[in-house]
């Protein structure tokens, strides 16, 4: 299981900041959330790769002095991880095209293969999530939002609590498996 908030913070504090330092110079990279935790079921490595791709894209397209903000929101049905930048934005007519393999926005002059966002969408799809694109705050930049169905972890039942519930049966040792 992947706890979205911890995954975001881990990536920001360790892996992503370390990897992003060469391209992040002069860009404010931040994290915002009023949520204590949001559980989603999924593959830890793939979810981190998805988040790293979104942050890397945002950093590449944000000019010096700009900002990139990662945020986590949650309601009763879903968790939303967003990466928002203050770069040039993506025109509405190109928003669906950026998810096609090898597609590059003309005139961007940014290095890349055009594979990052298709990978993001595929990882999201494999986790039952959807990716949305909108304008950033004040109609500047781009906001990528990934909407995940929430996972509700079940409490682990111990042998003692199982025995007290039905003394005539023996239950297996508790376990929690994740992907």
Nearest-5° Cα angle at 174, 171 to 175: 135
As to burial, measured by CB atoms within 10 angstroms (0-12 exposed, 13-18 middle, 19+ buried), residue 176 is exposed
Query: Residue-wise pLDDT tens for the chain (179 aa)?
Result: 455 555 444 444 444 445 455 456 788 888 888 887 777 888 888 988 999 899 989 988 898 899 999 888 888 889 899 999 999 998 899 888 888 888 777 656 677 677 789 999 999 999 999 999 999 988 889 999 999 988 776 777 776 655 555 555 444 443 333 32
Tokens of 50: 């998805």
pLDDT at residue 35, as a whole number: 81
SS3 of 135-148: the string is ECHHHCCEEEEEEE
pLDDT at residue 23, as a whole number: 58
Task: Report whether 36 contacts 3 (CB < 8 A).
Answer: no
pLDDT at residue 147, as a whole number: 94
The pTM is what?
0.73
User: Angle, to 10 degrees, between the axis of helix 16-24 and the axis of helix 44-61?
Assistant: 10
Count other C-beta atoms under 10 Å from residue 7's C-beta: 20
SS3 26: coil
């Amino acid at each position: 299981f992947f706890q979205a908030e911890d995954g975001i913070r881990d990536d920001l504090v360790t892996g992503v900041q370390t990897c992003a330092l060469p391209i992040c110079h002069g860009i404010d990279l931040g994290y915002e959330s009023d949520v204590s935790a949001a559980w989603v079921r999924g593959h830890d490595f793939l979810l981190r790769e998805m988040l790293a791709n979104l942050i890397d894209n945002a950093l590449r397209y944000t000019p010096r002095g700009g900002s990139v903000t990662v945020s986590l929101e949650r309601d009763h049905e879903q968790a939303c991880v967003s990466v928002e930048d203050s770069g040039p934005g993506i025109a509405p007519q190109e928003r669906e095209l950026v998810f096609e393999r090898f597609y590059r926005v003309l005139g961007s002059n940014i290095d890349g293969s055009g594979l990052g966002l298709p990978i993001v969408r595929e990882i999201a799809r494999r986790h039952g999530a959807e990716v949305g694109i909108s304008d950033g705050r004040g109609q500047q930049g781009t906001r990528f939002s990934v909407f995940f169905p929430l996972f509700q972890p079940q409490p682990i039942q111990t042998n003692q609590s199982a025995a007290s519930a039905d003394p005539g049966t023996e239950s297996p040792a508790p376990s929690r498996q994740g992907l």
